[in-house]
Amino acid sequence: MKKKKVKKLSYYRGKADKILQDIGRLTYDKCLICGGEYSCLHHFILKSQSTELRYNMKNLIPICSNCHCAIHQGKSSGKVGEIVLIKGMDWLNELLKLKRLGIGKYYGRQYFEEMYKKLKLLTPYRV
């Protein structure tokens, strides 16, 4: 009998990330900042800074490719400020609180597998 191969954390993280962007394409059609054509969901608090907020919809900003490039090329202070003006200080404070709650938590394969399964349920089609 063949042993069932256990999928790695990176497999589930990649699948969950793809579904998240698919959800964004189904939900949004324009950039929150400039109103341009929607390109992707931007993590306001970066994925590298908070796994806790990686799949939290409050942390995801619908954005166009021009604004997204500007943010990631270090021209972000104006764009980040615009997002905070649009979303509000209560929103920002809530995100920062959630970020602090995630500090020190372990996010292993099981976490990403569960997130993948939850996100998959939110899509109107099988991914």
What residues does each domain of the chain span? Answer: 23-117
Task: Write the DSSP assignment of 93-111 as a string of letters.
Answer: HHHHHHHHHHTT----HHH
Q: Note the pLDDT of residue 127.
A: 47
Task: Please state, in angstroms and rounded to a whole number, the distance separating the CA atoms of residues 44 and 39.
Answer: 15
| Rounded alpha-carbon distances, angstroms, from residue 2 to 5, 51 | 9, 34
pTM for the model: 0.86
Give 10-residue mean pLDDT values along the chain (127 residues).
Answer: 79 95 94 96 94 95 94 79 95 95 90 94 70
List beta partners, residue 43.
60
Q: Note the pLDDT of residue 1.
A: 64
